[in-house]
Chains A and B, each alone.
Chain A
Amino acid sequence: MAVAIKQPGLARGALGFIVGSAFGFGLVVALRAISGLEIFQTEQTGYPHLVVPAITGPLGFLVGLGAFDYWFRWAAGRPTIPEDHSQHGAKSWRDYFKFNTDHKVIGIQYIVTTFFFFLVGGLIAMLIRAELAQPGTQIVDPGVYNGLFSTHAAIMIFVFVIPVFAGIANYVLPLMIGAPDMAFPRLNALSFWMLPIAGILFLSSFLVPGGAFDAGWTGYAPLSTGAPLGQSFFNLGVQFAGASSVATALNFLVTIVTMRAPGMTFWRMPLLVWANLSTSLLVVAATPFIAGVQFMVLFDRVLHTNFFQAAFGGDVLSYQHIFWFYSHPAVYIMMLPGFGIISEVISTHARKPIFGYRLMALALIGIVVLSYTVWAHHMFVSGMFAWLRVPMMITTLLIAVPTGIKIFSWLATLFNSVLHLRSTAMLFALGFVTTFTIGGISGVMLGMVPIDIHVSDTYFIVAHIHFVLFGGSVFTIFAGIYHWFPKMTGRMYDEKLGRVHFYLTLVGMLGTFIPMHWVGMEGMPRRVADYAAQFGDWNLMISISSFLLGIAQLVFLYNMIVSWKWGPRATANPWRAKTIEWQVSSPPPIFNFDEIPRVVGGPYEFGVPGARHAIMGGEEAEVRKPEPAVVGAAGGGGGGSPGERGGP
C-alpha cells in the first residue's frame, strides 16, 4: 500500500480523492464559519458541504492518478521528463487501470467503461419495464420510479452513447489517417478519466439524502432548481462528461487537421473520419451551452441566485432554450459517428465503393449547420414565442434532407452487391438502416407542429427516441464493435453467436418500441409510473420484449469476453478492407507504424482495377512490379494490386 501511494495510480488517486474531498469540505465549513452562516446548510437544495467536495474530490483523484504530473512540471518551469513512452501501450490488463497516453489503450478503456455503464443503464431499464408490466404500482413507488428513468437516460446518453463513439474513434481514427497517436495524448487520457467520474456521480446520487435526481435527463427548471440534493450530482456529472467530450472533440479536430498522412487530402478521408470531424465541430460549439445552463441551475440551487426563479425576475423558459440549443445538436453528436461507422461497414462488407462519397461528406456538414437551427421543436407546447414555431418546423423538416441523402446513398451502395448475411457487422448495419429510417420518419412527424402537440410527452416520443437511439446509435455501435473487434483484440469473435445476438436484439427492439407508437398516439403519458388500465396488454408485451432485448445483450457479453480471451487469432485484414487501420497487424504495433504510410487514392475503391488507398512504409519496391490486377467483388479487392491509378 505504502509503495502504491508513492507512484501515480489508482491508489494515489484514491488518496487524492480523500484529500480533495476533505479540502472541499473544510473550505465550505471555514468560509461559512467566517461569514457567520449556519455551518451545515441542509435545506433540500443546498448541502454545499457535500456539493463542493463532489467537485474537489474528483479533481483530487485526477491529480493523484497522475493526470497533471506533466503539466505541473511544465508550469513550474522544471525540466519535463523526456518522453520515455512508459505511459504508452499496455502489457497486461493492469495497464488499463493506469493513466495511459496510448490512443489504442484509451480507446479500449473508453469502450469497456462505457459498456459497463450500458449494462448498468440497461439493468435500470429492466426495472422500469418490470414496474410498467402491469398498471398500478408493484415494484417501486412513484418517487423512486422518477429517479430510475432519469438516471437511466442520463447514463445512457452522457456516459454510454456519446463517449463510446469517442472510444471507437480513439482507437481507429489515428490509424485510419496514418497518425502515430492523437494530437494531445495527455489531454486524451485526461478526457477518458473524467468519464468514470461522471458516471459514478450519476450513480452515487442514489445514496444521498432525497434519492437520485428525478427531473429527467432534461432537468428542466424550476423542477430541477427545487429538487433534492441528487440533482446537484446530475449537474456535476454533466459537467465532467461535457468537459471530457469537449476535450476529446478538440483533440480529434486537431488530429484530423494537422496529422493526416501525406497524400490524404480531405476528399480521401474515410467517412468515419469525416463523421468524427463533423461530430467534433458540434461538440466544441454546442456542449458549452449545456455546461453553462447546468452551472446556472447549480448556482440557483446552491448559491440561491435567480436565473430561473420567476418570482425574482428569472426566466423559466430560458432553461429550455439554452438546454435544447445544446441537446438538439447532441442528438446528432449521438448519431453522426454512427453514420461514419455504417459507411465503413457497408462499403467493406458489401465490397462496393460508397455511392456519392462527396455528397455523403457534405451531407454531414449540412447536418452540422442545420442542427443549430431546430432546437425549439422540442418546445412547441412550452408556451414559447408562438412565431418561432413555424420556422422551427420548416428547419426540422429540412434536416431530413441531408439525412435522407445518407440513407439513399447507403441503399445505392448496397444495390447490386453480394450481401453477406453471415457477417454480424453487416447485419447490424442493415438493421440500422431499417430502424433508423423508421425513427427518422417519426421524427419528421414530430417536427410538424399539430402532430407534435397531440403526442407531446407521450410514449410516442419514447418510441421515436428509442428508434433513433437504440435502432440508430446502438446498432451502429454494435456494428462498429463487431467490425473492429479483430483489429482491437487480435482475435475473431464467434459469428454464429453474433447472429444470434443480432436477431434477438432486432426482435426484442421492434417488439419493445413499435407498440409504444400506438399507446403513445392513444395518449399514454411518458415519465409516469402508472397508466390507465386500457394500455395494460400492450405494456405487458412491451415488457416481455424488453426482457428479451436484455437477455440478448448477455449473448453479446459472453461472445465478447470469451472471444477476447480464447477466440482464434485474427489476421491483419480479415474483411479485406482498404483503409489504413487494416494494413497493420491485429492488434496494431505499439507505435502504429514504423513509417508513416503514403495515401494514393480514395478509401473505398473496391472493384476498381489496380486502385490502392495507401502504400505502407517499406512497401515501395513491391509496388513498382507490374502484376496483373486481380479484382472483383469476391476477389482480391483488398489485396496489394499495383496499377495505373495508384501513383501519387
Chain B
Amino acid sequence: MESASVAVGQAEPHEHHGPPEAHQSSRIDRQTLGILLFIVTEAMLFGAFFASYFFLRVVSNEGPWPPEGFELPVAVAGVNTAILISSSFTVHWALEATRKGNRRGMQMGLMTTWLLGSTFLFIQINEYIHIGFSGRDGAFGSIFYGLTGLHGAHVLVGLLLLSFANIRAWRGHFGPKAKDHLGVEVPGIYWHFVDVMWIIVFTVVYIL
C-alpha cells in the first residue's frame, strides 16, 4: 500500500507538488471549530433523548416518578459524578503542561484522566448490574438506560480519543506550539463536553 502510493507520487515529478496553502480566514483553526460543531451535533442527539424523557415523565406518566418499584442509587452515582468532574481538571492540567512544554506533566495528566474516566465507566457498568431493572421494564427503564447508556457510549468514545492522545504523548508527539498540541486540546474539549453532559444527565435523571 505504501509502496504503491509512493510510486504514484513519483510517477509525475514535473507536476505541481501540491495545492496552495489555503488562506486562513478566521482566527479559529479547523480542528477546534470542527470539534465544537461536532459537540453541537452531539448535544442535539442528547436533546432527542431528553425530549423523549420529557414526554415519558411529564406528558404520559401518571403517578410518582420514578414509578413504584424503581430506585436509583443516587449516592453511588454522586461519587461517580465527582470522579468524572475531577477528570476534567486533570485533562486541563495535561493541556497546560503541554503548553508549557512540561512533558511529564502532560503524560501524567493524560494518564490520570484516562484512569478516572475508566473508573467512571467501570462503576457505571457495575451500577447497571446491581440496579435491579432492565431497559425492558417500563418506559422508565427504557429512558434510564437510554440516557445513561448514550452518555456511557460517549465516555467510551472520549476514552478512545484519550487513549490515542496517551499513546502519542508517550511517543513524544506533542509540543508547546499551538499547532503541535491540538492532539491534546481537541480530545480535551470533547472530554469537557462529556463531563458537562454527565452533570446534566445526572441532575435530570437522578436528582430532579
Is B146's CB under 8 angstroms from A315's CB?
Answer: no
Q: Pick from B53-61, B111-119, B192-200 the stretch touching chain A.
A: B53-61
Q: Does A305 contact B (CB under 8 A)?
A: yes
With known contacts A258-B30, A284-B41, A596–B4 Cβ distance under 8 A? no
Q: Does B173 contact A (CB under 8 A)?
A: yes
- Inside 8 A of B44's CB, which chain A residues have their CB? 284-289
> Out of B22, B40, B56, B145, which one reaches A596, CB within 8 Å?
B22
- Inside 8 A of B171's CB, which chain A residues have their CB? 77
Is A77's CB under 8 angstroms from B164's CB?
Answer: yes
> Out of B2, B25, B140, which one reaches A264, CB within 8 Å?
B25
Is B56's CB under 8 angstroms from A313's CB?
Answer: yes
- Inside 8 A of A591's CB, which chain B residues have their CB? 16, 18-20
Q: Which of B38-78 contact A (CB under 8 A)?
A: 38, 40-42, 44-45, 47-49, 51-52, 55-56, 59-61, 67
With known contacts A74-B164, A258-B28, A305-B142, A284–B37 Cβ distance under 8 A? yes
User: What distance in Å separates the Cβ of B32 from its nearest Cβ neighbour in chain A?
Assistant: 9
- Inside 8 A of B41's CB, which chain A residues have their CB? 246, 250, 284-285, 287-288
Q: Does A84 contact B (CB under 8 A)?
A: yes
Q: Which of A162-180 contact B (CB under 8 A)?
A: 178-180
With known contacts A6-B1, A306-B141, A307-B139, A77–B55 Cβ distance under 8 A? no
Is A77's CB under 8 angstroms from B22's CB?
Answer: no
Q: Pick from A48-56, A142-150, A316-324 the stretch touching chain B.
A: A316-324
Is B143's CB under 8 angstroms from A307's CB?
Answer: yes
Main secondary structure of the interface of A (DSSP, over half): loop
Q: Does B126 contact A (CB under 8 A)?
A: no
Is A288's CB under 8 angstroms from B48's CB?
Answer: yes
User: What distance in Å separates the Cβ of B106 from its nearest Cβ neighbour in chain A?
Assistant: 14
- A290 closest partner in B (C-beta): B48
Q: Pick from A190-198, A296-304, A448-456, A463-471 the stretch touching chain B.
A: A296-304
- Inside 8 A of B29's CB, which chain A residues have their CB? 258
Is A291's CB under 8 angstroms from B48's CB?
Answer: yes
Is B23's CB under 8 angstroms from A314's CB?
Answer: no
Q: Does A356 contact B (CB under 8 A)?
A: no
Expressed in whole angstroms, the Cα–Cα distance for A184 and B2 within the complex equals 21
Expressed in whole angstroms, the Cα–Cα distance for A69 and B5 within the complex equals 13
Is A260's CB under 8 angstroms from B25's CB?
Answer: yes
Is A299's CB under 8 angstroms from B34's CB?
Answer: no
Is A289's CB under 8 angstroms from B47's CB?
Answer: yes
With known contacts A257-B28, A318-B52, A307–B18 Cβ distance under 8 A? no
Is A180's CB under 8 angstroms from B19's CB?
Answer: yes
In this complex, the interface size class of chain A, counting residues with CB under 8 Å from chain B, is 35 or more
* Binary per-residue interface labels of chain B (124-155) against chain A in the complex, 1 for a CB within 8 Å, 0 otherwise: 00000000000110111111011000000000
User: What distance in Å separates the Cβ of A3 from its nearest Cβ neighbour in chain B?
Assistant: 10
Is B8's CB under 8 angstroms from A84's CB?
Answer: yes
- A289 closest partner in B (C-beta): B48
Is A254's CB under 8 angstroms from B33's CB?
Answer: yes
* Binary per-residue interface labels of chain A (237-253) against chain B in the complex, 1 for a CB within 8 Å, 0 otherwise: 00000000010001001
- Inside 8 A of A314's CB, which chain B residues have their CB? 56, 60, 139, 142
With known contacts A250-B37, A258-B33, A285-B41, A299–B146 Cβ distance under 8 A? yes
Q: Does A183 contact B (CB under 8 A)?
A: yes
- B171 closest partner in A (C-beta): A77
Is B47's CB under 8 angstroms from A288's CB?
Answer: yes
Q: Does A131 contact B (CB under 8 A)?
A: no
- Inside 8 A of B38's CB, which chain A residues have their CB? 250
Expressed in whole angstroms, the Cα–Cα distance for A467 and B9 within the complex equals 50
- Inside 8 A of A254's CB, which chain B residues have their CB? 30, 33-34, 37
> Out of B5, B59, B145, which one reaches A305, CB within 8 Å?
B145
Is A288's CB under 8 angstroms from B45's CB?
Answer: yes
Q: Does B82 contact A (CB under 8 A)?
A: no
- Inside 8 A of B2's CB, which chain A residues have their CB? 81
- Inside 8 A of B56's CB, which chain A residues have their CB? 307, 313-315, 318
Q: Does B104 contact A (CB under 8 A)?
A: no
Expressed in whole angstroms, the Cα–Cα distance for A148 and B42 within the complex equals 33
Is A322's CB under 8 angstroms from B52's CB?
Answer: yes
- Inside 8 A of B26's CB, which chain A residues have their CB? 257-258
Is B139's CB under 8 angstroms from A306's CB?
Answer: yes
Q: Does A75 contact B (CB under 8 A)?
A: yes
Is A77's CB under 8 angstroms from B168's CB?
Answer: yes
* Binary per-residue interface labels of chain A (61-80) against chain B in the complex, 1 for a CB within 8 Å, 0 otherwise: 00000000100001111000
Q: Does B6 contact A (CB under 8 A)?
A: yes
With known contacts A293-B48, A594-B20, A85–B25 Cβ distance under 8 A? no
Is B18's CB under 8 angstroms from A322's CB?
Answer: no
Is A594's CB under 8 angstroms from B16's CB?
Answer: yes
Is A299's CB under 8 angstroms from B142's CB?
Answer: yes
Is B23's CB under 8 angstroms from A262's CB?
Answer: yes
Expressed in whole angstroms, the Cα–Cα distance for A291 and B139 within the complex equals 19
With known contacts A84-B9, A321-B55, A594-B20, A313–B139 Cβ distance under 8 A? yes
- Inside 8 A of A592's CB, which chain B residues have their CB? 19
Is A86's CB under 8 angstroms from B5's CB?
Answer: yes
User: What distance in Å separates the Cβ of A472 from its nearest Cβ neighbour in chain B?
Assistant: 26
User: What distance in Å separates the Cβ of A612 from its nearest Cβ neighbour in chain B?
Assistant: 18
> Out of B4, B9, B21, which one reaches A85, CB within 8 Å?
B9
Is A313's CB under 8 angstroms from B61's CB?
Answer: yes
With known contacts A8-B1, A184-B30, A591-B18, A262–B52 Cβ distance under 8 A? no
With known contacts A284-B41, A313-B56, A596–B16 Cβ distance under 8 A? no
Expressed in whole angstroms, the Cα–Cα distance for A303 and B136 within the complex equals 8
User: What distance in Å separates the Cβ of B191 from its nearest Cβ neighbour in chain A?
Assistant: 16
Expressed in whole angstroms, the Cα–Cα distance for A86 and B15 within the complex equals 13
Expressed in whole angstroms, the Cα–Cα distance for A596 and B19 within the complex equals 9
Q: Does A7 contact B (CB under 8 A)?
A: yes
Is B48's CB under 8 angstroms from A322's CB?
Answer: yes
- A174 closest partner in B (C-beta): B22
User: What distance in Å separates the Cβ of B159 from its nearest Cβ neighbour in chain A?
Assistant: 13
> Out of B4, B141, B146, which one reaches A7, CB within 8 Å?
B4
With known contacts A83-B18, A286-B44, A306–B1 Cβ distance under 8 A? no
Is B60's CB under 8 angstroms from A303's CB?
Answer: no
Q: Which of A487-544 contact B (CB under 8 A)?
A: none
- A258 closest partner in B (C-beta): B26
- Inside 8 A of A313's CB, which chain B residues have their CB? 56, 60-61, 67, 138-140
Is B59's CB under 8 angstroms from A315's CB?
Answer: yes
Is A307's CB under 8 angstroms from B146's CB?
Answer: yes
Expressed in whole angstroms, the Cα–Cα distance for A596 and B9 within the complex equals 23
Instruction: Pull 22 A–B residue pairs with CB atoms less than 8 Å apart, ordered by A.
Output: A180-B20, A181-B19, A253-B33, A258-B24, A258-B30, A259-B30, A260-B23, A262-B23, A287-B44, A289-B45, A289-B51, A292-B49, A293-B48, A305-B146, A306-B141, A307-B139, A314-B142, A318-B55, A322-B48, A590-B15, A593-B20, A595-B20
**Smallest CB-CB A-B distances: 6 pairs:** A292-B48, A180-B19, A313-B139, A318-B55, A84-B9, A591-B19
Known: A314-B139, A589-B16, A591-B19. 13 other contacts (CB 8 A): A7-B1, A76-B167, A77-B171, A86-B4, A253-B33, A260-B25, A289-B44, A291-B45, A292-B47, A305-B141, A307-B142, A591-B18, A596-B20
